[in-house]
């Protein structure tokens, strides 16, 4: 099986640099997927991720990564978290 970073997949498919929504649901691998996102090239206004609470170190890593990238946690719904780009309001 071939794997690639989300940045490369977005480039291959000519995704917009500022998508409105990125939904990541990778069965416990959301943190690893987000590590492959170049926030300078692709900056979604909203990111939805799946919580995988049985691996707390990954949760901490994911939260830290998104907060460092200037995203704020908006809401947790069931097993999903919704993150908003703090700079998105300036883009509208």
pLDDT for the residue 91: 52
Q: What pLDDT is stored for residue 3 in this prediction?
A: 87
Residue 88 has pLDDT above 70, yes or no: no
CATH architecture of 18-91: 2-Layer Sandwich (3.30)
Q: What is the pLDDT of residues 2-56, one digit of tens each?
A: 889 999 999 999 999 999 999 999 988 999 999 999 999 999 999 999 988 888 8
Residues forming beta bridges with residue 46, ordered by sequence position: 21, 84
Q: What pLDDT was estimated at residue 2?
A: 84
Where are the chain's structural domains?
Answer: 18-91
DSSP 21-71: EEEE--TT-HHHHHHT--TTT---SEEEEE--TTSHHHHHHHHHHHHHTTE
pTM for the structure as a whole: 0.90
């Amino acid at each position: 099986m071939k794997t690639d970073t989300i940045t490369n997949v977005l480039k291959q498919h000519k995704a917009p640099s500022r998508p409105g929504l990125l939904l990541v649901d990778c069965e416990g691998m959301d943190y690893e997927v987000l590590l492959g996102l170049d926030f300078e090239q692709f900056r979604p206004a909203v990111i939805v991720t799946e919580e995988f609470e049985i691996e707390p170190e990954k949760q901490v890593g994911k939260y830290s990564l998104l907060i460092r990238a200037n995203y704020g946690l908006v809401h947790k719904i069931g097993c999903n978290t919704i993150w908003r780009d703090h700079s998105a309001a300036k883009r509208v």
